[in-house]
Every structure is written in structure tokens, then in C-alpha cells.
Homo-oligomer: A and B are copies of this chain.
Amino acid sequence: MNLAKQSRASEPVEGHAQNSPMVRLRPPWLIYFGDVEDVGHAKTGLGLIQWRREFCAGQMRASGCHVDGGIPDMGIGEAVAAGVNSLVIGVAPAGGSIPPTWVSDLVRAARAGIDIVSGMHARLSDFPEIVAAARESGARLIDVRTPPRNIPVGSGERRSGKRLLTVGTDCAVGKKYTALAVEKEMRARGWNADFRATGQTGIMIAGQGVAIDSVIADFISGAAEMLSPAAAPDHWDVIEGQGSLSHPSFAGVSLGLLHGAQPDALVLCHDPSRKFLLGMEGSGSFPILPLAQSIEQCLGLARRVNVNARFVGVSVNTSRVSPEERSRLYEEIARETGLPVADPIREGVKAIVDRIAAEFR
């Protein structure tokens, strides 16, 4: 424990030095799909185009690419002419490595002064050709999984402004999507709201953020505090959750994020088709907790840092639920939790933001 509250450097961001402690991407972006064949592996790039179309100047696809984001195709030369500032790798091949076939494209972009942005496990700085090209032009190599330097230890001090955090009954239940949908709905109503990213895809979509699961353990809550600093009283930070308090692999990350976020409002994200934690069906040891129990556990911990923390909705993924089942499911969840229920992909999160409006404005 670092009781002295000293800052401690985490691993440095490679390439050109950054002044800000947080990752920040410079738009406009060129979305790089390489030769990806499978839409499932292109979720990052397609998510960027879905949520931040205004920052996407074009896409770059090699022969053999079977994915189309529906935006203009460009080579490096055209991208330079279009004023592109960042090439964002929009593909995550299995294994998280950078295939040799991409390297020459990345070298050409870096040499042209375009920042290269990657969310993969492999580090851009492990490719000497890319490093040399970036050094020559001053382009930045941004590995968004690499946390910023100088994250403080969390202080627990109350900050001005409002915060919403999405939490989950499991990993991969729509916490990022729900947060983005809430931000969009709040902005549509003219509210002052910002999505705050805690994972690599979210960081690319937001153009900034901290990969909270990559931070040194002593600094998780400090990173969350840094990510959602004091703001105007009517401003909402809409913070992307990570993991689950009931997940034995990642609960520490979830609790540090909860404490650092100090949420006023919480949305519980849930996939009703899951009976056990993802990837742990075999052992049968880790059933998904009942929603009311998840909520109670989370509030017990959240109120340590914000006595007014409360849930404002349940976000469900109903992609595997039949239309007849759906209304029964919504009623059941509403009865169990007393909260509005919404599938952000199907009908959006109006019901949840209505509840926030009623409780906070």
C-alpha cells in the first residue's frame, strides 16, 4: 500500500512523449481493417464508425478484407491529403498480435506523420521499423492498453459533478455499449455529458481514457478518479464499467473502479441467457447472482464513497430472447428491482435516462 500517496510511474508510453497523463487520440482518423475476413474481429473499427462517425475520415482495407464500414476507402496518400492525424487499428485478430503484412502499411503511415493507435496486446514499440518511422516524422505510437504515467493513489475525496457507472452481473454484458447509449441519449436531450472510457475499444471511441485493467493495482481507484475529475454540478461523466464484483478473476478491478468513480447513478448490465459466468459454465461454481443481490452488494460498497449512490436502471441484452418472452422478462426484472429495464440495442435507454431526470434534475 502506498500510504505516502506518492505518484508512481506506470510503464511509459512509448514513442513521442505525451504531455497529458491520459491517452488522447487526434482526429480525424483512418480506420485500418487490413485483410480481416471476419466481422467479429473488426468490432473495434466498426464500433468507432458507429459511435464516432464524425471523427472517421475513411477506412483502409487490403485485398482479402471482407469487412466494410461503409465509409470512404483511402490509401495513406489520400489519408494525408484528407488531413488524417491518426491511423487506428480497427481489427483484433486472435492472439492480439500484429501480422507482418500490416507492418509496411503502418510504417508508411508513421513516416507520413500519422499517429498509429493500437489496442492490441502486441506493442507497436516492439516493431523497430515502425518506431524508426515514427521517430523520423514525430508521429506518436499509442498503445491504448498502456496506462498513463503518474496516476495518483485514490483519495476518496468527493468531487463536484455527477457520475454514472455501468456495472455488470458478468464480463461482456454490454457495459461499454450501455454507457455510450446513455451518453448519446443525454446529449440528445441537451445535457452536458461525456462518456469516460476504461477499456481499449472505449478509449478509441472516446479518443481518450485509461485502460483500467492495465494499471498497477495500487492505483486503480486513483485512475478512476483521474478519469472523471471534478466538473460542473450539472455535468455527467458516463463511465464504462469493467468486470463484475462477483467475478473471481476481475472483481478487484471492478471495486477499485467503483470506489474511484464515486457514482451517483448506477446501471446494472445483464445477459439473461447466462446462468453461469462466461467461460466458467463447466465448473458450475459461479452462477450469475440474482439481480437484487448484485444490486445490494454493489450499493453496500458504493455507499462507502457516495452515500447517495443508487441504481437507475437495468440494461439487458435480449438478442437471445424471443419477442413473446421479452415483455415477461422486463416485467419480472422491473418487479425484482423496481427499476426501468431497457435493451440499448433494441429500444435505446430513454427509460433509464427518464429515471435519471426524475431523480437528479
Contacts and interface: CB of A to CB of B under 8 A. Distances in A.
A279 to B, nearest CB: 6
State the copy count for this chain. 2
B285 A156 contact: yes
B305 A3 contact: no
Interface string A1-22: 1111110100100000000000
A138 interface: no
Interface string A159-202: 00000000000011000000000000000000000000001000
A248 B3 contact: no
A153 interface: yes
A248 B257 CA distance: 10
Interface in A275-331: 278-280, 283, 285-286, 297, 300-301, 304-305
Given A157-B283, A243-B1, A285-B158, A249 B222 contact: yes
Given A156-B280, A222-B249, A248-B305, A214 B213 contact: no
A256 interface: yes
A260 B172 CA distance: 21
The secondary structure that dominates the A interface is: loop
B220 A252 contact: yes
Interface in A242-287: 242-243, 245-246, 248-257, 259-260, 278-280, 283, 285-286
Contacts of A104: none
A96 B2 CA distance: 11
A217 B221 contact: no
B253 A1 contact: yes
A218 to B, nearest CB: 4
Of residues A5, A154, A304, which shows the largest number of chain B Cβ atoms within 10 Å of its Cβ?
A: A304
B259 A252 contact: yes
A216 B218 contact: no
Interface in A198-240: 199, 212-218, 220-222
A52 interface: no
Contact of A218 (B153, B172, B214, B286): B214
A199 B3 CA distance: 13
Given A156-B280, A217-B212, A171 B248 contact: no
Contacts of A157: 283, 285
Contacts of A248: 154-156, 221, 259-260, 304-305
Interface of A: 1-6, 8, 11, 96, 121, 153-158, 171-172, 199, 212-218, 220-222, 242-243, 245-246, 248-257, 259-260, 278-280, 283, 285-286, 297, 300-301, 304-305
Given A1-B199, A3-B278, A251-B301, 19 more contacts: A1-B213, A2-B213, A6-B96, A6-B121, A154-B248, A155-B248, A155-B249, A156-B286, A158-B285, A214-B217, A215-B216, A216-B217, A217-B256, A218-B250, A218-B253, A220-B253, A221-B248, A248-B259, A252-B252
29 contacts: A1-B171, A1-B213, A1-B250, A1-B253, A2-B213, A3-B278, A3-B279, A4-B96, A6-B96, A154-B248, A155-B249, A156-B283, A156-B286, A157-B283, A158-B285, A213-B216, A213-B218, A214-B217, A216-B216, A217-B253, A221-B252, A245-B255, A249-B259, A251-B256, A251-B301, A251-B304, A253-B256, A286-B304, A297-B300
